[in-house]
């Protein structure tokens, strides 16, 4: 360390790949991609969780009586989880065709939830407030 500045000598080797942590699901030995570190889930368990959460939110919003604050939460969920899925799936991981299909299906599920939320909001009578 010279003059308070830390310098790193170039060793000529590529930097070490970040170590992945194990999935937090019981019994799962899958590795968590960097983009999914905040949720501590492997790709399989992340897609399963997103699909289950979307199904629950779909049931919650189907009648168009969801309060505005909850609708905003759901829209944020869709955006955040769609972005995490996009980052994880395009990060250079080698994915089996079955996992690629599951990822595409999860994107479709997120898109359908947003579409259903919009459709349910259109069914509300004009002037009605939640």
Output the 3-class SS for the chain.
CECCECCCCCCCCCCCCCCCEECCCCCCCCEECHHHHHHCCCHHHHHHHHHHHHHHHHHHHCCCCCCHHHHHHHHHHHHHHHHHHHHHHCCCCCCCHHHHHHHHHHHHHHHHHHHHHHHHHHCCCCCCCC
Local confidence band at 17 (pLDDT 50, 70, 90 cut-offs): very low
Local confidence band at 63 (pLDDT 50, 70, 90 cut-offs): confident
Pick the CATH number of 42-122 from 2.60.40, 1.20.120, 3.40.50, 1.20.58: 1.20.58
pTM over 0.75: yes
pLDDT tens, position by position, 77-116: 999 999 999 999 999 888 999 999 999 999 999 999 999 9
Q: Where are the domains of the chain?
A: 42-122
């Amino acid at each position: 360390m010279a003059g308070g500045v830390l310098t790193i000598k170039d060793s000529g080797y590529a930097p070490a790949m970040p170590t992945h942590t194990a999935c937090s699901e019981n019994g799962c030995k899958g590795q968590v991609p960097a983009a999914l570190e905040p949720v501590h889930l492997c790709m399989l368990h992340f897609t399963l969780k997103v699909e289950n959460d979307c199904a629950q939110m779909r049931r919650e919003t189907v009648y168009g009586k969801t309060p505005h604050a909850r609708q905003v939460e759901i829209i944020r969920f869709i955006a955040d989880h769609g972005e995490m899925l996009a980052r994880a799936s395009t990060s250079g991981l080698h994915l089996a065709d079955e996992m690629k299909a599951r990822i595409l299906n999860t994107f479709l599920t997120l898109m359908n939830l947003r579409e259903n939320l919009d459709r349910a909001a259109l069914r509300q009578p004009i002037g009605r407030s939640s």
